[in-house]
Amino acid sequence: MPPKVYITRRFHFSASHRIYNPAWDEVKNLEVFGKCSHPTGHGHNYELEVTVAGPVQPDTGYVMDLTRLRSSIEAAVIELLDHRNLNTDVPFLKGQIPSSENLIVALWAQIQPLLPEGVELVRLRLWETPRNSFEYYGETV
């Protein structure tokens, strides 16, 4: 039986957002979210780590071609996020508070269909800053 290896590619995008629940007024938003809810927004350099796993293919020594993984995720996902406003510009975040938690769960649904058969999506890790990160493994509570 072939060994199972996990491969990870890091992506980068710069975006702005404002944490804001439209069901609440400004006062409650500022009370709950603090400076993250300033009306004119703020932004981050996000780093996204995508980890997939599968058997090593004997004829290539690859789980899958990382260049193909990279270009398909850049075209289908990163292009929609980079230099954009997460509150207004991103189709797959419409109607959601653009927290990193909601973003990473939405990214799972975007990235999973891009993988070839036999390769599974295992982990997403998103850095909002070099000191804050978020992971999602496709689990529910």
Does 94 interact with a second copy (rule: CB under 8 A)? no
Count of residues that interact with a second copy, criterion CB under 8 A: 69
**Is 128 known to be catalytic?**
yes
Does 48 interact with a second copy (rule: CB under 8 A)? no
Which contiguous run of DSSP H or E holds residue 47? strand 42-55
List 30, 78, 80, 102, residue binding a second copy (CB under 8 A) = 102
Close Cβ partners of 24 (under 8 Å, ≥ 6 residues apart): 32
Does 77 interact with a second copy (rule: CB under 8 A)? no
**Is 36 known to be catalytic?**
yes
Does 12 interact with a second copy (rule: CB under 8 A)? yes
For the purposes of burial, counting CB atoms within 10 Å of the CB of 7, is it exposed (0-12), middle (13-18) or buried (19 or more)?
middle
Does 41 interact with a second copy (rule: CB under 8 A)? yes
What are 86's two structure tokens?
């997460």
